């Protein structure tokens, strides 16, 4: 199971955290990955200065804007979930 955590702290909330979560939820549904991807919300990851919302996939942290969330899911999460 791949664990994907999305920061919902104040800074990330203002940068569109809930939009990123919705996009990831829809992608998980579209690809039927409920058994392979665990999507979680978390509080501050201490990366508030980054441009986007902090997303942790496994142990790696990424900065993801709502505009790039679909592409990020396709490039970084989907390949791990379909192995």
CB atoms within 10 A of CB 73: 25
CATH number at residue 11: 3.40.30.10
How many Å apart are CA 63 and CA 67, to the nearest integer?
A: 12
Domain span at residue 43 reads 2-81
- Specify the pLDDT at position 48: 87
Number of domains in the chain: 1
User: In this predicted model, what pLDDT tens digit does every residue of 47-73 receive, in sequence order?
Assistant: 888 899 999 999 999 999 999 999 999
Q: Please tell me the pTM assigned to this model.
A: 0.93
Residue 83: pLDDT band (50, 70, 90) is confident
**Better-predicted residue by pLDDT, 29 or 45:** 29
């Amino acid at each position: 199971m791949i664990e994907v955590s999305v920061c919902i702290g104040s800074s990330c909330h203002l940068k569109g955290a809930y939009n990123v979560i919705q996009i990831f939820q829809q992608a998980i549904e579209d690809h039927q990955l409920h058994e392979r991807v665990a999507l979680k919300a978390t509080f501050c990851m201490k990366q508030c200065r980054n441009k986007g919302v902090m997303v942790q996939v496994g142990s790696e942290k990424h900065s993801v804007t709502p505009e790039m969330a679909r592409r990020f899911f396709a490039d970084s999460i989907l390949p791990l979930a379909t192995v």
